[in-house]
Amino acid sequence: MAEIKEAIKEKSMNLQKEMLAKQFHELSTARELGKKVVYTFVPGNLTELILSFDMLPVYPEINALQSGMRKKSAAFIKDAEKMGYSEDVCTYVKCDIGMMLNGNIGPTGEKLPSPDLLLLSYTGCFTFLKWFENLERLYPGVPVAMLHTPYQEDGIITKDQIDYMVKQLKEDVIPKMELVSGKKFDYDRLSKMLANSAKAEDLLVKILESAKNVPTPIDAYFAGVYYIGPIFTAFRGTEQAVEYYQELWNEVQERMRLGLGPVTPEGEIKEQKFRLVMEGPPNWTNFREFWKIFYDMGAVIVASSYTKVGGVYDLGFRHDPKEPLESLSRYCMGCYTNLNLPQRVDLLEKYVDEYKADGFLINSIKSCNSFSAGQLMIMRQIEQRCSVPVGFIESDLVDPRYFSYANIKNRLESYFQMLEQRKTILKQEGVTT
């Protein structure tokens, strides 16, 4: 067996890893620290509100994807299927349930605490509802707070929708948080946290939009998953998050100054032959191998929908300390999976145009209906509107049975050949790309 080289990482990637490890360690010692724990989800999360009560958030999807990256998910999924969970059920759910059935030992090997509150603020994914029903059965007697998020069917967020969500926050969510935490809601503390969120969001937008540069200094999909980690999980609203994004922005500016490309686990991409926009989440069980197919062929992802799953900040939204509850409501409704399909197409078209992409590629996830529903329509629309080659590959989130390296590599090689031919034709016609 060939020796696996240690992955090369940017300073900010290592910092993010340290932050994540610290988070899991803090969770493992929550009871000793006297901390209450809230289980919630990434899209449309109320992290700042949770932290304002001095409670710690746990994100089941993060547990699952981290387990997938650490090659632990297969066994958890099999245990969940033995209990009766179907092969077609979201593999995040099965991995998470399997992990809990095996003692709730988290991805870092440290035991995670049981929840004191189940907080469901789902956005565009009805699987979350059934997931929480299962968590209720696993943790009987734990209080449940549900924040119902209106779907953007018409593509707009109305005052009535905001008022509806604020009412839920005031009458159900916050009172339950007060009861569980033993603390009164602190309006000013939440506002200060939202001010930190807005600072971090400003920096994140600058970082992701740096990919408009040619050459791009970042990969907005594979490296992007590291970049979004702190802001979509336990650190949004903290000064630590602001410091992280300032450090990352400094790195990106330096790479732009030097004309350097993205850092990959194997080193810097020297030649950027193809610029792509990507739709859909990555595969986590073979993340490094998946990424390597792209950089071996000189392909970089300049924009992706997945990095917007926890908030579409480049369309102008920022958490507003002057309107804390209204701001949280807008945030929940504005996540990518809560956009309707025409909105998603418009956003992806914007990325193809503004980021000077050579092509558009979909990674369709077998068990994720929130993303896969409508993807063929999206692909056809982008092809018609943008006149760029489109591609379609399939994998899964954390089930290694549904990742075929050979199949994906063959499909991508054919796709990149098509991109190369297009570049040749355009060059012959005197068109620069």
Whether pLDDT at 10 is above 90: no
Joined together, the tokens standing for residue 303 give 């924009």
Predicted pLDDT at 129:
80
Kindly indicate the confidence band of residue 17, based on its pLDDT and cuts at 50, 70 and 90: confident
Residue 392, beta-bridge partner list = 362
Give the residue with greater pLDDT, 7 vs 339.
Answer: 339
Whether pLDDT at 2 is above 60: no
β-pairing verdict for 267-268 and 274-279: unpaired
Give the residue-averaged pLDDT of 384-391: 96
Could you tell me the maximum CA-CA distance found in the chain, to the nearest angstrom? 71
Residue 323: inside a domain, yes or no?
A: no
- Residue 158's domain comprises 11-185
Residue 139: inside a domain, yes or no?
A: yes
Residue 85: inside a domain, yes or no?
A: yes
Residue 353: inside a domain, yes or no?
A: no
Number of domains in the chain: 1
The CA-based dihedral angle spanning residues 32, 37, 42, 43, taken in that order and rounded to the nearest 10 degrees: -160
Long-range contacts, 212-215 (Cβ 8 Å, 24+):
212/302, 212/354, 212/355, 212/356, 213/256, 214/272, 214/275, 214/356, 215/259, 215/260, 215/261, 215/272
Residue 109: inside a domain, yes or no?
A: yes
Whether pLDDT at 421 is above 50: yes
Q: In b/e form, how buried is each residue of 232-262, taking b as 16+ CB within 10 angstroms?
A: bbbbbbbebbbbbbebbbebbeebeeeebbb
Residue 230: inside a domain, yes or no?
A: no
114-128, 141-155, 161-175: lowest mean pLDDT where? 114-128
The CA-based dihedral angle spanning residues 370, 411, 274, 389, taken in that order and rounded to the nearest 10 degrees: -70
How far apart (Å, rounded) are the C-alpha atoms in residues 89 and 142?
Answer: 24
- Percentage of the residues of the chain whose pLDDT score is greater than 70: 98
Kindly indicate the confidence band of residue 181, based on its pLDDT and cuts at 50, 70 and 90: very high
- Percentage of the residues of the chain whose pLDDT score is greater than 90: 79
Give the residue-averaged pLDDT of 173-201: 98
Whichever domain contains 77, its CATH number is 3.40.50.11890
Whether pLDDT at 173 is above 80: yes
Residue 273: inside a domain, yes or no?
A: no
Residue 390: inside a domain, yes or no?
A: no
Nearest CA to 89 among 79, 101, 77? 77
Residue for token pair 């299927």: 81
Q: What is the pLDDT of residues 279-294, one digit of tens each?
A: 999 999 999 999 999 9
Predicted pLDDT at 4:
57
Kindly indicate the confidence band of residue 209, based on its pLDDT and cuts at 50, 70 and 90: very high
Kindly indicate the confidence band of residue 411, based on its pLDDT and cuts at 50, 70 and 90: very high
Joined together, the tokens standing for residue 214 give 């040619």
Give the residue with greater pLDDT, 6 vs 186.
Answer: 186
- How far is residue 60 from each of residues 40, 65, 210, 286, 414, measured CA to CA in Å? 7, 9, 31, 20, 36
Q: For every residue of 101-124, which 3-state class applies, written as one string?
A: HCCCECCCCCECCCCCEEEECCCC
Predicted pLDDT at 133:
86
Q: What is the pLDDT of residues 136-154, one digit of tens each?
A: 999 999 999 999 999 888 8
Nearest CA to 89 among 402, 369, 350? 369
Whether pLDDT at 216 is above 60: yes
